[in-house]
Amino acid sequence: INILGTLNVLNVALKNSVEKFLFASSGAVYGEAKYLPIDEGHPLEPHWPYGVSKLSAERYVVQYHKLFGLSTTAFRYGIVYGPREWFGRVLTMFIKRIFLENKPPVVFGDGSQTRDFVYVSDVVKAHMLAIKNPYADGQVFNISGGKGISIKGLAKILVEMSGKELEIIYDNPAEGTASSFQPERIRLTGELRNFVLDYGKAKKIINWSPATDLKDGLTKEIEWILKKPKRWNTKPRV
């Protein structure tokens, strides 16, 4: 879907003289960080299929701009979160356990892995700025919060926000196997150790920077799921 689907949409966009083509790429195209924060010049060495497919599609997007003059912009996102987030990523697992099930969050390993979260409305703002700015044509931008937080740090913040007396559970299942404390949760293969993106290029060219504090964004997502708890009554996506 990521490769052929993108190519199909590119061809339709070109045929119909679409004014602007925005592509949702991913920070997964970088693979394990060689340095932090990761800028757009970082080596592109994805080491699992999702990142490989995103990188392949992204290169088609850039080439369609160079070869055919299609106005394109690609975005390599951090972890996008907020209301209506799909269930399956670590943040949603934590929120569901703590706020809907009154259970402690389960952290894989020692929890020192770092992640970079960016609120959904900030992502939308980046899209709008790129649409309006001709200097965004043919560019690839990191869109992120620009700050790393450890997985155990994220779990602690959520427990504190809940006001509940819950002790974080640390579990260390092998990659590709389920947690003994949370059987529906599978530890991903090829899990990244550290992931923090540098959004300096987006700030320079389209004047974008994240505006939403992590706790404020978490509050909005928690308020949303408490009103619509059935939205996450599904098997986790991976």
Strand partners, 79: 117
Who contacts 128 (Cβ-Cβ below 8 Å, separation ≥6)? Answer: none
60 is catalytic: no
Catalytic-labelled residue, pool 35, 50, 119, 199: 50
Q: Which residues are catalytic?
A: 50
